[in-house]
Structure 1
């Protein structure tokens, strides 16, 4: 058994029928290069091989019968393949937009907590005989860095690697512990949490002092909560999901990054903010106030340290959507992320994680926030979620079939009913837009603008005025 960390458990607390908290990892394959046809039966066998050889593919939630404490992961390799492997066909002609519509439908339904926390969809009908594998996996299992580890375990760099095969001897299901084992285990963790509580409070007081000192010294802080005006995507949402994505040239993103001395993440956020600005302007919703974003960033000291679960901090960043000029907007975003980095360095970076260990407080917070948000129609806590991940830079294969596209998206969390997720793969970054389908019926209204914003920045990078008014901006690769 493996006990969930507080941050992992937060995604269970946030989850509801209209707010499923799984992530999505999709790959597009060219099966014509496989030695044998990729039949559905072969996919079934390969999925059973995944389950036998990849630990989190066997994890099922086990909640304490005593009614308090965090749940555990328990190994249940004897899966119901009819649930975990689904089959569907994308609409004709099977391009990116048709695949996106299919992914949006797949995204809508929450995973069954009484089974291991994932589901794979085999999508046929794509153009030129391509197929897609769409993996839904609960966010409690893996953050972005752990998901990268998972992808590089599911797939291979070597085109000669065969499809995975199940073990000759089936693995047994792990049993629920007996009450005389379970009760002391839960009680021990609760006593340890109570013992740590005074130090958590003391650290919170210290962080408050840091924030006040920054304010006294006139230094900027994180983007303020409840500062951005409400937009349609900040309203309470239904289970309907709209999904879109566009592929951007990573080489152009890096060129803009280098030309202006900013990070790849700065360019990504500016692309998202610029596309959103243009969309809102066209629909008569653009405000003179800026949208704000919650930006997850890895807290792992070494990117190679990719244990399962979640280890992220959350920056609150102003997207400068009130600024028309793209380069001025990039400068403002770069300044905001630099401030976020400084604030994180000065504060107790793990304090938020440690508070999440107190599950009753977080459970209460996750239930109260929607009530407060529904009453605060004019000011959501933050506008949206935006994250990007540096994915594999080399070609991956599945049983000899090269992976041509990698598409990833995280969930939406009220009141942030808009999620931008960018994952790079080789020389492309697929930037995804996830929304509530009832609030933003056509997410391509936003997604189609992202390549245009990048083109604007790239053109300015070539011109004489393509410099940010930020001489102290360190050029780093984000």
Structure 2
């Protein structure tokens, strides 16, 4: 029997028609590399062949009677590829704007829970003959890493090769009788107080240690400390999407020259882009924006089951800092503290507490939260979610078509109507932005600033490439002087940075 973990099930309980908890992706393909040419019928048939033995593509939900426990996965004995793979064509002229509008519409459609929780839309007529595949999978089925791995079932290293192997094939969990489900649910509920008692002591110790770190100034940024922006409120079910590309070598060069990490650079660029975007709209808060950054604990977790093996840390994005190098310096220092703090937290903490998620309670709570618009009445938990997903370093082929770009798109939440996800792929870093359309209608204007901010950071690094690496400079700068300099910078009028108007293309 394949029972959903509490964390996986939470993504089902927290979903509403407005707060859609599926993850999406835009895969841009060059069909000229396909050995037999492009044909939708052939592509759909080959997808059906490749997914037929993969449980994540062919299983569906089965509820436990009376909602006494988390649902289980069972094989869909009536699996039909026609209900999952669809065909569309872009209206003329078939460019970036038309693709974004269509993708935003598809991202706003809820998945049918009576079937396996995924869909794939083959979109023809993009950018002079390219094909785009728009994918959707529910977060109850995948996280960032496992979702990337699942796509490998459909990809190969050569145009005419078999798909990549992911090791031994997994089997579908059996479908138990109703009486067995009820019995297991009763036992599970009876043992939960014991589990709760076991979690209380380490959780209390964690809180004590966090307070100590906060006093020492080495704790990660705290939730509920984010400033309010126009995209921090109650969301609707409408979605706006935008995407752009950055050069991975530029990011690596900055990382090497400054002694930081790729993730530090990505977050610093995101902070600069958001600062520029908000500044041009006279919406820039005095305090830095706060991002939730999902962290994979797949390597550290001892749990064998469950699709989602993630934790999260909070990171200030330096939107209150004008100088890009200083922003990166602060980002590197804060991220080191956040990582040290996060490493002290058990990899199973979030998964353990998620076991107490109750279907009806969570469902009623999130609907009441949205209906009363509470996200606009309490302090902002976080401004947005930013994910960094590692991708393939070499060219990949989807059904024989070379993958030119892969833009990941995560979910947005009440109170945080923007999600930024980046993925490396064959020397490029693909940036995917998705937002509540009413909260951020001009999301394309924001994504265009990512390449511009990377260029500004690279230029600043080149101008000081003979200087001491950032980590050493940070250790020699007196904290009092640094704080005073930042305070003075906040008082000074900030310069506006106009965004480039060049459309981003794959």
TM-score, structure 2 as length reference: 0.86
Aligned mates of 1:469, 1:129 — CA distance in 2: 45
Q: Give 1:332 deviation, angstroms.
A: 1.5
> Closer, same or farther in 2 for the Cα pair 1:219/1:229, shift >3 Å?
closer
> Closer, same or farther in 2 for the Cα pair 1:375/1:429, shift >3 Å?
closer
Deviations 1:356-380 (A, max 9, x none): 1111276676567557862644731
Contact 1:123 1:134 in 2 (8 A): yes
Q: Which residue of 2 aligns with 1:143?
A: 143
Aligned mates of 1:20, 1:187 — CA distance in 2: 30
Q: Which moved more, 1:395-404 or 1:344-353?
A: 344-353
Contact 2:16 2:367 in 1 (8 A): no
Aligned mates of 2:253, 2:179 — CA distance in 1: 61
Contact 1:8 1:140 in 2 (8 A): yes
Q: Give 1:463 deviation, angstroms.
A: 1.6
Q: Give 1:38 deviation, angstroms.
A: 2.0
Q: Which residue of 1 aligns with 2:398?
A: 398
Deviations 1:196-217 (A, max 9, x none): 111111111111221122234x
DSSP 3-state at the match of 1:419: strand
Q: Give 1:219 deviation, angstroms.
A: 2.7
Aligned mates of 1:5, 1:285 — CA distance in 2: 40
1:454 aligns with 2:454: yes
> Closer, same or farther in 2 for the Cα pair 1:355/1:174, shift >3 Å?
closer
Q: Which residue of 1 aligns with 2:418?
A: 418
- What is the aligned counterpart of 1:262 among 235, 238, 260? 260
DSSP 3-state at the match of 1:284: coil
Contact 1:299 1:312 in 2 (8 A): yes
Q: Which residue of 1 aligns with 2:353?
A: 355
> Closer, same or farther in 2 for the Cα pair 1:212/1:34, shift >3 Å?
closer
1:235 aligns with 2:233: yes
1:273 aligns with 2:274: no
Aligned mates of 1:371, 1:349 — CA distance in 2: 34
Aligned mates of 2:132, 2:11 — CA distance in 1: 26
Deviations 1:272-321 (A, max 9, x none): 11111101011110111111000001112279x99761111100111110
Q: Which residue of 2 aligns with 1:168?
A: none
Equivalent residues in 2 for 1:218-367, closer than 5 Å: 218-301=216-299, 309-360=307-358, 366=366
Contact 1:89 1:125 in 2 (8 A): yes
DSSP 3-state at the match of 1:232: coil
DSSP 3-state at the match of 1:211: helix
DSSP 3-state at the match of 2:48: helix
Contact 2:23 2:136 in 1 (8 A): yes
Contact 1:392 1:424 in 2 (8 A): yes
> Closer, same or farther in 2 for the Cα pair 1:96/1:429, shift >3 Å?
farther
**Ranges in structure 1 where 5+ consecutive residues have no aligned partner:** 165-171
Aligned mates of 2:292, 2:373 — CA distance in 1: 16
Q: Which residue of 2 aligns with 1:195?
A: 194
Aligned mates of 1:461, 1:472 — CA distance in 2: 14
Q: Which residue of 2 aligns with 1:64?
A: 64
Contact 1:370 1:415 in 2 (8 A): no
DSSP 3-state at the match of 1:234: coil
Contact 1:149 1:306 in 2 (8 A): no
Aligned mates of 2:262, 2:295 — CA distance in 1: 13
Over the aligned positions, Cα root-mean-square deviation in angstroms equals 2.6
Q: Give 1:51 deviation, angstroms.
A: 3.1
Deviations 1:228-251 (A, max 9, x none): 221111121111100001000011
Q: Give 1:95 deviation, angstroms.
A: 3.6
Q: Give 1:76 deviation, angstroms.
A: 0.8
DSSP 3-state at the match of 1:134: strand
Deviations 1:155-213 (A, max 9, x none): 1113222689xxxxxxx998853222221222232233332111111111111221122
Contact 2:419 2:434 in 1 (8 A): yes
Aligned mates of 1:325, 1:191 — CA distance in 2: 56
Q: Which residue of 1 aligns with 2:132?
A: 132
Q: Give 1:78 deviation, angstroms.
A: 2.6
> Closer, same or farther in 2 for the Cα pair 1:470/1:175, shift >3 Å?
closer
Contact 2:300 2:347 in 1 (8 A): no
Equivalent residues in 2 for 1:116-131, closer than 5 Å: 116-131=116-131
Aligned mates of 1:315, 1:88 — CA distance in 2: 39
> Closer, same or farther in 2 for the Cα pair 1:173/1:459, shift >3 Å?
closer
Q: Give 1:387 deviation, angstroms.
A: 0.6
Q: Give 1:467 deviation, angstroms.
A: 5.2
DSSP 3-state at the match of 1:233: coil
Q: Which residue of 2 aligns with 1:167?
A: none
Aligned mates of 1:77, 1:41 — CA distance in 2: 23
> Closer, same or farther in 2 for the Cα pair 1:321/1:219, shift >3 Å?
same
Q: Which residue of 2 aligns with 1:434?
A: 434
Deviations 1:81-129 (A, max 9, x none): 3431222122433344433332211100110111100001010011231
**Ranges in structure 2 where 5+ consecutive residues have no aligned partner:** 165-170, 476-506
Contact 1:203 1:348 in 2 (8 A): no
Deviations 1:335-359 (A, max 9, x none): 2211111111223342222111111
Aligned mates of 2:372, 2:387 — CA distance in 1: 25
Contact 1:248 1:429 in 2 (8 A): yes
TM-score, structure 1 as length reference: 0.91
Q: Give 1:385 deviation, angstroms.
A: 0.3
Aligned mates of 1:405, 1:324 — CA distance in 2: 31
> Closer, same or farther in 2 for the Cα pair 1:396/1:307, shift >3 Å?
farther
Contact 1:46 1:163 in 2 (8 A): no
